[in-house]
Amino acid sequence: MPVLFAHLLPTLLEDADLSNSTCVVIDILRASTTMVHALGNGARAVIPCLNVDDAHAAADKFPASARLLGGERHGQLIPGFDLDNSPLHYGPEVVSGKTVIFTTTNGTKALWSCRTAAEVIVGAFVNRKAVCQALKRSGRDVHLICAGTDGQLTAEDILFAGSIVQLLVDQPGSNWIAGSVQTRMAGDYFAARGADPAVFRKTFFDSLGAQNLLELGMEADIERCMQPDLFDCVPHWNASTGELTIR
């Protein structure tokens, strides 16, 4: 029976052996949502980089016409970059066919924290159904990695992880097992605060991640990141090439 683990922060991975597992990287506001937008809207690949220097080095390997530099520091456009971290700026007319070199504060770190996994995918509300289907198909144990905000737990990531617990474990006849207290807590949190749309919305907007964005006037981004199932695609990360693509 497959086991589902939720980790409320990358630092709470607790030395888990990921080698036979699928990891789902979760940074709802906004890195995972934006990466799904990029690939769902036709980008060839996204290359997540830990820092700005790495991003420039990666960009130098592509002709200027074939790549875009995207990401954020402190929620805002990085000087010299083409795109910030708003999913609304990664439309098909911008990203189609391009390679997006991408660096953000929390999401990229979360991705690297599970580089030893058999499979690493990116999950967000905007591709949740596709993620669940992929996890059910694979049959592997699953680790949900919440990126958090500046080292702190943040509600929007945990709501998403909790919704996956509900969709996989807490279903009649499910053969999935919740693997830890963190997993149960995420599920209970979503059951208490995710089921009613008004409570979900308030919890999402009250989150640390959303409050940071509201201060920057980015309410439209928050709205977009809450939308379920806008894309029927699952970004897979190849730790060797460093590329996220849709298989």
**Residue 87 to residue 63: CA distance in whole angstroms:** 24
β-partners of residue 119 are 22
Q: How far is the CB of 205 from a copy of itself (least distance, A)?
A: 13
| Contact letters for a copy of itself, residues 44-83 (x by CB under 8 A) | ----------------------------------------
**Residue 117 to residue 109: CA distance in whole angstroms:** 15
Does 192 bind a copy of itself (CB under 8 A)? Our answer is: yes
Our CB check for a copy of itself shows the closer of 138 and 180 to be 180
Q: Which stretches of 40-176 are assigned E, i.e. beta strand?
A: 45-48, 67-71, 99-103, 119-123, 141-146
Q: CB-based contacts of 232: which residues, under 8 Å, 6+ apart? A: 40, 127, 129, 130
Our CB check for a copy of itself shows the closer of 11 and 241 to be 11
Residue count (the chain): 247
Does 170 bind a copy of itself (CB under 8 A)? Our answer is: no
**Residue 190 to residue 245: CA distance in whole angstroms:** 29
Q: How far is the CB of 195 from a copy of itself (least distance, A)?
A: 12
Our CB check for a copy of itself shows the closer of 185 and 239 to be 185
Our CB check for a copy of itself shows the closer of 184 and 236 to be 184
The residues binding a copy of itself (CB under 8 A) are 8-9, 11-12, 14, 151-155, 158, 180-182, 184-186, 188-189, 191-193, 207-208
